[in-house]
Structures are given as structure tokens and as C-alpha cells.
Chain A
Amino acid sequence: MAEVSWGSLPASPRQVQVLLVASSRILWNAVWNRGRTRRLGVLAGTVLGACLWVAAIPLIGSLVGGPLAAPRAQLLTTLIGALVLLSGFTLVTSVSFAVASAYFAKDVEWLLTLPLSPRGILAHRLASQLALGISVGAVLLGPVLIAAGIRTGTLALLPLAALALVALLVMPVSAGLLLVVLAVRAVPASRVRDATAALITLLGFSLAAIEIAGHAPSQGLRWAGAINSLGAGWLHSVWFPPAWTARALTDAWRGDWLGCLGWLLPSVLLALAVAGLVLRVSGPLYREGWARAQMAPQRRRRRVRSWRRIPPVLAVLRKDWRTLRRDPVQLSQLILPLALFAVYLLAPRSADNSQVLFRNFPLWYGPLTTSAFAALFVASGLGLRAVGTEGRQFWCLRSAPLGQGQLLFGKLALPLLVAAGSSLALMWAAELRARLPLGQIGFSTVLLLLCVSGLAALATGLGAIWPRLDWSDPRRAIGIWLSMAFLVVGSAYIGVCMVALTVPLVIARLGTAGSDLGSLAACAVCAGAAAAVSLRAAYLRLGRIEL
């Protein structure tokens, strides 16, 4: 009997269409068919989002007015730079998306057992990513395109401008998919996923570090200059696709629809050719790579070093620490903000900035505030997810004789230690650089520890109240809205702490003694109140969670 070569099966458009319809149905059910409360929430969120989206258009219109009125060559240079950055960002994020959707999605195994071409499955993944990208683009870039269209009186050409952008983004998305399929042929998919996280972290760090290190209060953002210089180099060449899109957009905003079509057509053709070529090349490789990924588990030998018994709270802490240090994705997310804060605190200009901002405060005030905000991101990355990262393994803890309080404190321990340790290291580095006396360093250390304790408790408590326990990817252990809400609540908490500890200092300046103790007490009250409220609510909630 002739052996079937799966890679050579045709990727029929019908197959891709069926998969896309199923994906749309899944999305619709998740958004709309999950009960009345959810439906009302979605409706309210959509109306609010739509209002904000429409309200943003006139605001953006006033911002883009200047650049649009600039000479064509200058506008073109800026646009090319921006589109190159957008393409690069899309390429990096598409790698992460491709590895997750093509190798770690729950349905892949089942789909590969069906008489579907691997090329068809990849085409579906590519189309899903493009649909997601177009949705995000419509939300973020839609107001910009509409505002530009209104400003230049060329709103009728909006579809052409939008199509030019979509055609451009097809190329990095396809390239990202091909890169992943090729990489998984060489190394296991889990390693590619880990490397992707490190790559994104490194890229994000590099870009942000350049911006932070060179930024001064009197200057505008360095990005504007950087984008212009990027767009003015060899990328300006007419042989480079972002330059085609930039020219199509410029012509559209000048009302020259023939010129716009002239640049749009090659963009669309090239996008189709790239996507087709990527699917043709990667289809046969995909199935083999997936099979290899299944057969190449991570093997590591570890010996039990000790039979020593430790208390349950410490056992939970040790388990969380082991899990964290073996998960490059979580580690990357944790290290990135800390590294950026380190750059901010230790950059040559930051001392000048700090002196400007905090000239009427004690010398430790600036480093303390900045370090507390660094701890906010650690608390968000670890504390907020502390219970959520248990996911489907939560039964292990819940069926053990562990009290809710023990569980909560076990979960609080790691974020507290990491947030306190990292923020203290940052603050001490900045204070030693500023040659602060040891007494002041000690005093600010106690203040920071108090503030960070409350912050970690706040994060752990909030995360335990609304955990997501049905994820397949630990990064989704907490919803995006809760993360954003915590950044707001946590910032407000730090603000309150900093104001509260300042009041006794101001009073002392007026002639009353005992300012240091007053500051400590004020900070302790804020931290204690935040911790008590959030941990109590979490304690009650943990008792009601059903698995």
C-alpha cells in the first residue's frame, strides 16, 4: 500500500473555512453565550469602548494635524520609520503566537488526527493571527487612520489605507510562522517557546533602556527622532515593502487614489505570495516537527537532597520558587521591569531628574518611591498570579490538610520575598551611589519593607479573589483587566503611603519632633490596612472556590 504523505495533502480553502467558522463560534460562545451577567458585562464594555474609541478620533486629529501638513518627503520618512517598527514588533509577537497556537493549543493533537492537511491547519492559525492583529489594529490604529482621513478630507480612501496596512502585516506574521516551524525542526517546541520569551524580553528591554537612559525632563521623547532616522536610511528605498505601504498611505492622504493603488497592488501581491510560499514550505515540516516535539521531553535528573520535614507554608513557598526558576517565560516577565527600573535609577541623567523632582524632600525619598514602583511590577507578576498559577493543579493543595490562612501565607511568601529583595537592592544601589549616610539608608529600608509588605499582600489577596484556574498557559492565570486594575490600585496605594509618610516630615520641618517615628507609623498603618482588607477578603473567597 502506498504511504500517505501528509505534507503533500492540498490545503483546501474549504478546510480552512470550516476551521475559521468553528473558531468564530468558539469566540462567540465565550463572549456571548456564558450567561446573562457576562452578556451584560460584554455589552457595557463594548459600549464604553466604542465611546472611548470615537472620542479618541478628534483628539488624535489634533495631534496628527502637524505631521500631515509637513512636506511629503518628511511625512514619508516618519511613516517608513513607524511602519518598520510596527513590522518588527509584529514579527516578534507573531513568533510567540505561532509557537503557542501551532504546538501548544489543546486542539492540535485532534486536528492532526483528522484528514486535514497540516498546511490547512497552519493556514487557519495564520488567518486567526491576522484576524486578531486586524482587530487590535482596528482598535489602536483605526482612530489614527480615520482622524487622518478627516483631516485631509480623504475619508473615502480609508479602505485602501487599511488594506495597505493589512498587506504589510501579513509578511511579518507569515515570516514568524516560518521561523517557528523551522526552529521546532531543530529544537523542541518548549525550548523555542522559552527562547521566544527571552527574545521578547531582551528586545523590550533594549528599546526601553535606550529611551530611559537618554530621556531628560526638558526633552521630548527620543522616539520621534529615532523613527525619523530609521525611516531616512536604506529602508527609505522603494525596494522595501514598508516604503510601499508608506507611499500608499501618503498618496491616499493627498487624495491621489491612482498613486495609492499603484503602491497598494504590489503590496497585496507580495503579501499573498509570501503567505502562500510560507504555507507551502512549512506544511510538510510542521507535522514532523510536532511529532518530534511530542517525543522529545525535557529530561533532567535531580536527586532528593534531604528528607527533612518543613512546615506547609514553607513547602508551598519552596514549590513556588522551584516552579518560578524553571519557567523562563515567567522569569522573563519578572526580570524585564526590574531591569528597566535599574536602568532608570542608575542612568547618568536620573540623578539630575531626581534632584529636580524631589528637591524639597529627604535624599532617600526619590529612590524609595522608584523602588516601591519596581516592587509594584514584581507584585503584579508574582503576587497577583500566586493563586491563579495553581490552575488545574490546585486540587493538590486543596485536598491537603492545609488551612486557608496557611495557603494564603504560603502564596504570599514568594512575592513578598522577591519584591522586597529586588526593590531593596535597587534602592540601596541608588542610595549608595548618592552617598547617603547609613542611618538614612536604614530608615528608608524599614519604610520600603513596610510599603512593599502591604503591596505584596494587596496583590496576593486580589489575585486570590479572582483567580483563573482553567488556563492551559500560566501567562493567562490572571485576566488582563485584573492586571490593569491592580496597577491602578497598587499605584494609588504607593501614592497614599508616600503622602502619609511625608506628612510627619512636613510637620517636623515646622518644629515638631518625632518625624521619623511618625513616618514609620503612617507607613505601617497604610500597609497594615491594605494587607488586612485584601487578605481577609481572599481568605473568605478561598473557602468558597469550587474545583
Chain B
Amino acid sequence: MAQFADRATSVCFEGVAKSFDGRPAVSALDLKVAPGELFGLIGPNGAGKTTTIKMAVGLIRPSLGRILICGHDVQRDGRESRRHLGYVPDSAHLYDRLSGSEMLQLAADLHGVPAERRRQRIPALLEAFDLAGVEGQLIMSYSRGMRQKLALCAALLHDPQVLFLDEPTVGLDPRGARQLKVMLRSLCDNGHTVFLSTHALEIAAALCDRVGIFSEGRLAACGTVAELELAGRRRGQLDAGLEDAFMAVTGSQDGEASGLLAALRT
């Protein structure tokens, strides 16, 4: 287990904000995620989920505030913070003219994975994600799901303390999605932290220890699934689930669905 498992937080956002050309994408985000926690970020399109994750992995600079990964400031100590994280974007663009195994070798070299460790880990990950046997082919011949799985293998190769996943189940077949869920749960049980964004509320409900609901760049609600459902019930819905809580928090109403149906009928 990684050396930071005993610390109180693996991921810490302190007053983080980001704006693009004056338009706020994320505002005043304060959030802490503990070691061993599986945290899910849900929200409508354009709510700021991907921007939040990109800021955490150092692909985008926050306009305000700071982000700590295992105690390391992403901006000031980016290299050290990136040692402790793995990242899979929503659409994994990989090097088309490398083979799957060459891509994993590259990831292992960039993270400084020792030879003996990669000898054990690469075949195991390829086997776990059903990529064994195709790792010699160039990535240009891979399907979207295979690319996504390969990106997951690359992100897990160095055994990161924190794993950031942006829409991880998009493109995966049901078997791959199931394997991923089992693996994420197992990672968290071993003290690793998983921070994911998803549109699939059932995944968030079934998998996440805590869920944050993003709306218009703000963390509008955050808590366990049970707490969010309770909040939904307090708003008057007796059998409120996570979907109802999501609709209530993001301001989406059934009236919008009626409007959509009416538009489809015209």
C-alpha cells in the first residue's frame, strides 16, 4: 500500500475555480477525498466535471485555489503529484502506431516501473481486461472499447495511489464494465482512492462511497448515496432515488421532459 494511506486526504480541492475567457467553468470548489474512498462526480453535460478532473491531473491550471494529491500541490509540485495518480480520459487518444504492449512499456518507463514489477503486472492487467493475445497489434486496429481498456491498463500499471477516471464505462462492453467495477472496488478496499465522473447514475449508486453532484460549475450537493436520497425525500418525494435527488439538485424538472416530448411530436 502506498505511503500516503495514513494521511487524512488523498485528494484535496481548496477554493478551486476555473474560468475560460471570463466564463466560469468551476467555481469555489472545496472537496476532500479520503484514502480508500470511491468518489463519484455526476452532473449534466457542461457542468464542469471533466474540467475538475483535468485540473486535478495537471492538464489544466486552476484560475484560483490549489489542488493537493497525496499532499503534493499539483501546480507547485506537479511531477511528484503525478507520480501518485493514474488517469484515463473520456476518449482515450492513444498512439495509433504503437502496439498495445509498446504503449504499456512506454507508460511503465514514464512512471519508472521496475523491470521485475512490469514483468508481473503487464501480463496480469492484459489478462484481466481481455487484451491478452492482441497486445502485439498496433493500436490503430483496436476498437474504442479496447483502447479504453488499454488506457486503463496503462493507468493502473504503476499502482497509483489515486485513480482519476473520466466516464470510465463509456465504450466498454458489459463484461468489461463489470470487470472494471469489481477492480475499482477492490482497489479502494486496498486503500487506493478512485475519483470518477459518470453520467450513469446506477454506477454511481452501486459503486461510490460518496457522490458529488455538479451543477453549473458548483458542487451543489455531496454525500453518500443514502444522504442524497434522504435529501430528495425531504423535498417531498417519498420514494426518492439518486436520480430524483440529481434532478432536484440540478434543477431539472419533469416539465422539461414533457417539453421534450412535445417537441418530438411537432
Q: Select one of B60, B82, B115 contacting A401, CB under 8 A.
A: B82
Contact B61 A304 (CB under 8 A): no
Contact B99 A299 (CB under 8 A): no
Chain B proximity of A95: nearest CB distance (Å): 22
Contact A546 B60 (CB under 8 A): yes
B97 at the interface (CB under 8 A from A): yes
Contact A546 B59 (CB under 8 A): yes
In chain B, residues 69-122, which have Cβ atoms closer than 8 Å to a Cβ of chain A? 79-80, 82-83, 85, 87, 89, 93-95, 97-99, 101-102, 105-116, 118-119, 122
Question: CB-CB < 8 A to B94: which residues of A?
Answer: 393, 396
Instruction: Give the interface segment out of B4-12, B137-145, B194-202.
Output: B137-145
Contact B98 A319 (CB under 8 A): yes
In the A-B complex, the 6 residue pairs with the smallest Cβ-Cβ separation, listed nearest first, are A297-B141, A315-B109, A400-B110, A392-B93, A301-B136, A326-B97
Question: CB-CB < 8 A to A393: which residues of B?
Answer: 93-95
A303 at the interface (CB under 8 A from B): yes
A398 at the interface (CB under 8 A from B): yes
Bitwise, A525-547 to B at CB < 8 A (1) or not (0) is 00000000000000000001011
Question: CB-CB < 8 A to B111: which residues of A?
Answer: 400-401
Chain A proximity of B125: nearest CB distance (Å): 13
Question: CB-CB < 8 A to B60: which residues of A?
Answer: 546-547
Question: CB-CB < 8 A to B97: which residues of A?
Answer: 322-323, 326-327
Chain B proximity of A329: nearest CB distance (Å): 11
B233 at the interface (CB under 8 A from A): no
In the assembled complex, 10 residue pairs joining A and B whose CB atoms fall closer than 8 Å, in A order, are: A301-B137, A302-B101, A302-B137, A311-B109, A316-B110, A326-B138, A392-B93, A396-B110, A399-B57, A402-B82
Question: CB-CB < 8 A to A326: which residues of B?
Answer: 97, 138
Contact A315 B141 (CB under 8 A): no
CA distance A434 to B94 in the complex (A): 48
Bitwise, A497-508 to B at CB < 8 A (1) or not (0) is 000000000000
CA distance A311 to B89 in the complex (A): 25
Question: CB-CB < 8 A to A310: which residues of B?
Answer: 109
Given A300-B99, A323-B98, A399-B87: 11 more A-B contacts, CB < 8 Å: A300-B138, A304-B105, A309-B113, A319-B95, A319-B102, A393-B94, A396-B110, A398-B59, A400-B110, A402-B82, A546-B61
In chain A, residues 369-398, which have Cβ atoms closer than 8 Å to a Cβ of chain B? 391-393, 395-398
Chain B proximity of A362: nearest CB distance (Å): 43
Question: CB-CB < 8 A to A544: which residues of B?
Answer: 61
Question: CB-CB < 8 A to B80: which residues of A?
Answer: 401
Q: Report which residue of A298, A303, A311, A399 has the largest number of chain B beta carbons within 10 angstroms of its beta carbon.
A: A399
CA distance A190 to B140 in the complex (A): 10
Chain A proximity of B92: nearest CB distance (Å): 9
Question: CB-CB < 8 A to B118: which residues of A?
Answer: 307, 309
B191 at the interface (CB under 8 A from A): no
User: Considering only CB atoms and an 8 Å cut-off, how many residues of chain B contact the other chain?
Assistant: 43
A435 at the interface (CB under 8 A from B): no
A14 at the interface (CB under 8 A from B): no
A312 at the interface (CB under 8 A from B): yes
Contact A401 B79 (CB under 8 A): yes
Chain B proximity of A50: nearest CB distance (Å): 31
In chain A, residues 217-273, which have Cβ atoms closer than 8 Å to a Cβ of chain B? none
Question: CB-CB < 8 A to A396: which residues of B?
Answer: 94-95, 106-107, 110, 154
User: Considering only CB atoms and an 8 Å cut-off, how many residues of chain A contact the other chain?
Assistant: 39
Q: A298-B141, A323-B97 are in contact. Are A395 and B109 (CB under 8 A)?
A: no
Q: Select one of A301, A307, A547 contacting B119, CB under 8 A.
A: A307
Q: Select one of B85, B107, B108, B154 contacting A309, CB under 8 A.
A: B108
Chain B proximity of A389: nearest CB distance (Å): 10
Question: CB-CB < 8 A to B171: which residues of A?
Answer: none
CA distance A396 to B113 in the complex (A): 16
Chain A proximity of B156: nearest CB distance (Å): 13
Question: CB-CB < 8 A to B122: which residues of A?
Answer: 304, 307
Question: CB-CB < 8 A to B32: which residues of A?
Answer: none
Question: CB-CB < 8 A to A401: which residues of B?
Answer: 79-80, 82-83, 110-112
CA distance A403 to B83 in the complex (A): 11
B58 at the interface (CB under 8 A from A): yes
Q: Select one of B79, B87, B95 contacting A402, CB under 8 A.
A: B79
B185 at the interface (CB under 8 A from A): no
Question: CB-CB < 8 A to B181: which residues of A?
Answer: none
A509 at the interface (CB under 8 A from B): no
Question: CB-CB < 8 A to A300: which residues of B?
Answer: 99, 136-138, 141
In chain A, residues 315-359, which have Cβ atoms closer than 8 Å to a Cβ of chain B? 315-316, 318-319, 322-323, 326-327
Question: CB-CB < 8 A to A309: which residues of B?
Answer: 108-109, 112-115, 118
CA distance A170 to B135 in the complex (A): 46
Q: A308-B115, A326-B138, A402-B79 are in contact. Are A302 and B99 (CB under 8 A)?
A: yes
CA distance A403 to B99 in the complex (A): 25
Question: CB-CB < 8 A to A316: which residues of B?
Answer: 110
Contact B59 A547 (CB under 8 A): yes
Q: A300-B137, A327-B97, A546-B61 are in contact. Are A402 and B115 (CB under 8 A)?
A: no
Q: Select one of B101, B108, B140 contacting A298, CB under 8 A.
A: B140
Chain B proximity of A84: nearest CB distance (Å): 38
Q: Report which residue of B94, B97, B114, B116 has the largest number of chain A beta carbons within 10 angstroms of its beta carbon.
A: B97
CA distance A3 to B101 in the complex (A): 43
Question: CB-CB < 8 A to A398: which residues of B?
Answer: 58-59
Chain A proximity of B2: nearest CB distance (Å): 14
CA distance A315 to B107 in the complex (A): 9
Q: A312-B112, A402-B79 are in contact. Are A547 and B54 (CB under 8 A)?
A: yes
Question: CB-CB < 8 A to A327: which residues of B?
Answer: 97
In chain B, residues 38-73, which have Cβ atoms closer than 8 Å to a Cβ of chain A? 54, 57-61
Question: CB-CB < 8 A to B138: which residues of A?
Answer: 298-300, 326
Question: CB-CB < 8 A to B112: which residues of A?
Answer: 309, 312, 401
Chain A proximity of B117: nearest CB distance (Å): 9
CA distance A459 to B229 in the complex (A): 57
